[in-house]
Amino acid sequence: MKKFLRIILVTAFILPVVAKAQFESFKDSVVQLYGVVMTADSLKAIPAVSVVIKGHNRGTITNDQGVFSIVVLKGDQIEFSSIGYKPKLVTIPSNLDGNQQSIIQLLVQDTIYLPATIIKKRPSREQFEREFVGTIVPDDNQEIARKNTDAVRRRALLAVYPTDGREATNYYLKQEATKHYYTGQTPPQNIFNPLAWAEFIKAWKNGDFKSK
């Protein structure tokens, strides 16, 4: 019991010391970073620049005068980015003295050359309507799928391409199932079936029985 109480007393004495040391170490690593972001060529303030701590979901943006302020840790990497400018990555020194750091960050314009676009006026409304109506629009995926599943196209493909192993197996199994289904009785004759005659006439009109 005395040993247990001794452990508790030692722990109660050491924990605050350790916690205080960790807090002091963390407090020493916190840096208040503030500054202004400007253009490198004309030294004009850049508003709405993203100031983000890389690897963390924290950041801020510059105000109308290009000024910002953010709390970071020593050793963090700060990324400055804005549309039309090349991003810049700055590392906070790990051996920085004090807990404040000011910075004037310059960003270089990122020039992108786009191909020239020439806009010409149509000679007349009639020519515009004629060319607009005659413009060939390529088929999208839905239209291509619709054409591939068209009944006429399927029949043409069936007449050219042989059946694969799966189709042949399914056809054989279907024939065997029909054969066993009518075992011991006379199978029906489709010669008197009006639906079968309708399918036959339809296939005959489509040319399914023409010699290849």
User: In this structure, what token pair is assigned to residue 47?
Assistant: 């508003």
Mean pLDDT of 15-24: 44
- Cα(80)–Cα(119) distance, integer angstroms: 37
Distance, C-alpha 52 to centroid of its chain: 23
Distances (CA, A) of 173 to 117, 135, 164, 182, 188: 63, 50, 14, 14, 19
- Positive or negative torsion for Cα 196, 201, 204, 206: negative
- Cα(175)–Cα(46) distance, integer angstroms: 79
Query: Of residues 142 and 49, which shows the higher confidence score?
Result: 49
44, 38 in Cβ contact below 8 A? yes
The pLDDT score that the predictor gives to residue 2 is 52
DSSP string covering 95-126, please?
T-SSSEEEEEEEE-B---PPPP------S-HH
Which helix H or strand E contains 36, and what residues bound it?
A: strand 30-39
- Cα(106)–Cα(37) distance, integer angstroms: 6
Mean pLDDT of 32-55: 93
- Cα(160)–Cα(163) distance, integer angstroms: 10
CATH 2.60.40.1120 is held by the domain 29-107: yes
52, 79 in Cβ contact below 8 A? yes
The alpha helices in the chain, defined as continuous H runs, are 2-29, 125-134, 141-148, 151-160, 165-181, 194-205
Q: Where are the domains of the chain?
A: 29-107, 140-205
The pLDDT score that the predictor gives to residue 23 is 38
pTM of the model: 0.46
User: In this structure, what token pair is assigned to residue 34?
Assistant: 């503030």
Q: Does residue 148 surpass a pLDDT of 50?
A: yes
- Which residues, 6 or more positions from 64, have their beta carbon under 8 angstroms from its beta carbon? 45, 47
Model confidence pLDDT, tens digit, residues 76-118:
999 999 998 999 999 999 888 888 899 999 999 988 888 888 8
CB-CB neighbours of 24 under 10 Å: 10
The pLDDT score that the predictor gives to residue 5 is 52
Percentage, residues of the chain above pLDDT 90: 27
